[in-house]
């Protein structure tokens, strides 16, 4: 798997990452969502450098400009509900992209720390010969992403598959490397220390979905 850790060098990205982690700033859910969106825009820009482009001529008021435009077809696919704000950031950059949505959540059968990943809903276009970007803010165990990719039934072969997450645990990265093909691309804004006994990322930021959209039953 191709690993892209885009916070290794200092940039405004680290500024937004610091804000989404701050327990005081997190109290403002609108600001939290906006920072997630900004992070998505930065990640989309970095990812765009790996896509294919074609030469075009653009008529300006004063002449012709020889330039390039994106040639690849892009499908943005988010894992509900936490992925929505990050999806918006990617959509701001890839404004001609098609869009898909998949639900996935941890189901604790016995109300203990053991869980299965349930994927119950999907609405997505064809991926045939397109660049699929799967979006989820947090990569903890990695099980949700693998379950979603299995649910999507990729018989229609994408040209490339990119996975975009904001914060990842080393255990989740290792799980994807073990269970997904080497050709996949994993884009990460920050790599944290570890998972705790409940499989939450430490130091992480808490529950991204709850912080963005409110607590759930």
Which residues 6+ apart lie within 8 Å of 181 measured at CB? 1
Check whether 134 has a pLDDT greater than 70.
yes
| Lookup result for tokens 């894992």 | 79
pLDDT at 6: 95
pLDDT above 90 as % of the chain: 76
pLDDT at 114: 63
Task: State how many domains the chain has.
Answer: 1
CA 61 to chain CA centroid, Å, is 39
pLDDT at 174: 98
Q: What pLDDT digit, counting tens, does each position of 64-113 carry?
A: 999 999 999 999 999 888 889 999 999 999 999 999 999 876 655 565 56
Instruction: Residue 121: give the domain boundaries.
Output: 2-213
Q: What pLDDT digit, counting tens, does each position of 191-211 carry?
A: 999 999 988 999 999 999 999
pLDDT at 80: 85
14/7 Cα distance (integer angstroms): 7
21/103 Cα distance (integer angstroms): 24
Check whether 190 has a pLDDT greater than 90.
yes
109/13 Cα distance (integer angstroms): 38
pLDDT at 115: 58
The pTM of the whole model exceeds 0.75: yes
What CATH number does residue 83 fall under?
3.40.50.2020
Q: What pLDDT digit, counting tens, does each position of 38-55 carry?
A: 999 999 999 999 999 999
3-state secondary structure the chain: CEEEECCCCCCHHHHHHHHHHCCCHHHCHHHHHHHHHHHHHHHHHHHHCCCCEEEEEEEECCEEEEEEEECCCEEEEEEECCCHHHHHHHHHHCCCCEEEEEEEEEECCCCCCCCEEEEEEEECCCCCCCEEEEECCEECCCHHHHHHHHHHCCCCCCCEEEEEEEEECHHHHHHHHHHCCCCCEEEEEEECCEECCCCCEECCCCCHHHHHHCCCC
């Amino acid at each position: 798997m191709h690993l892209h850790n885009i916070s290794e060098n200092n940039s405004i990205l680290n500024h937004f990452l610091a804000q989404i982690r701050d327990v005081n700033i997190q109290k403002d859910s609108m600001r939290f969502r906006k920072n997630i969106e900004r992070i998505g825009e930065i990640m989309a820009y970095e990812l765009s450098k790996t896509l294919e482009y074609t030469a075009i001529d653009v008529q300006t008021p004063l002449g012709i400009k020889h330039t390039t435009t994106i040639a690849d077809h892009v499908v943005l696919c988010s894992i509900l509900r936490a992925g929505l704000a990050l999806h918006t950031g990617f959509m701001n950059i890839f404004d001609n992209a098609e869009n898909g949505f998949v639900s996935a959540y941890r189901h604790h059968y016995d109300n203990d720390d053991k869980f299965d990943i349930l994927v119950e809903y999907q609405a997505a276009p064809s991926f045939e010969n397109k660049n699929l970007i799967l979006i989820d803010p947090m990569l903890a165990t990695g099980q949700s992403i693998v379950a979603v990719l299995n649910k999507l039934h990729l018989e229609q072969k994408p040209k490339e598959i990119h996975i975009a997450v904001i914060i990842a645990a080393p255990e989740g990265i290792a799980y994807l490397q073990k269970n997904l093909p080497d050709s996949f691309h994993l884009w990460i804004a920050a790599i944290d220390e570890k998972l705790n006994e409940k499989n939450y990322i430490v130091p992480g930021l808490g529950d991204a979905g709850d912080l963005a959209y409110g607590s759930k039953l």
